[in-house]
Structure 1
Amino acid sequence: MIGEFDVGGVLLSSVFVTGVIALACAFVLRRLLTWAGAYRLVWHPALFDLALFVILWAAIAALPFPAPLAR
């Protein structure tokens, strides 16, 4: 995905936008995994969190976002 997102006249990089979305999803997923007790099975929680973030970011970046409307 290449391009920018127009947010109120400010152009934001698609890398930044997808990274923020992935970070928010990772926070929510981490809370759910902590609540479920899944971190008891994880050897290194920080590495697991990083891998989770990278996987989420790649998945979100691979999604086809709709093209902005022409003015």
Structure 2
Amino acid sequence: MHATEFDLYGVFVPATVVWMLVAFAVTAALRAALVRVGFYRIVWHRSLFNLSLYILVLGAIVALVWQAPS
């Protein structure tokens, strides 16, 4: 069974919020790396690209969590 909520000192936090925070941190690291290598020079709309990157990372994290044996 997968965790749907995490107990954080008596406050129940949905697992989705935790996954979103992890995805945000991973996306921030990826964006910093992309800036360093100059990737954004070929990106047409940086904000849309960043949103798409975040959604892809979040989807990958959720897929990995739900595929992992419990």
Band of TM-score, shorter chain: 0.7 to 0.9
**Structure 1 residue 12 displacement after superposition:** 1.1
1:37 maps to: 38
Runs of 5+ consecutive residues of structure 2 not aligned to the other structure: none
Matched positions, count: 67
Distance 2:49 2:34 in 1: 11
TM-score normalised by L of structure 2: 0.83
| C-alpha distance in structure 1 between counterparts of 2:13 and 2:27, whole Å | 21
- Residue 10 of structure 1 corresponds to 11
Q: Which runs of 4+ in 1 moved over 4 A?
A: none
1:19 is paired with a residue whose SS is helix
Identity, in percent, stands at 39
Task: State the superposition RMSD in angstroms.
Answer: 1.8
Task: Give me the TM-score of the superposition, normalised by structure 1.
Answer: 0.82
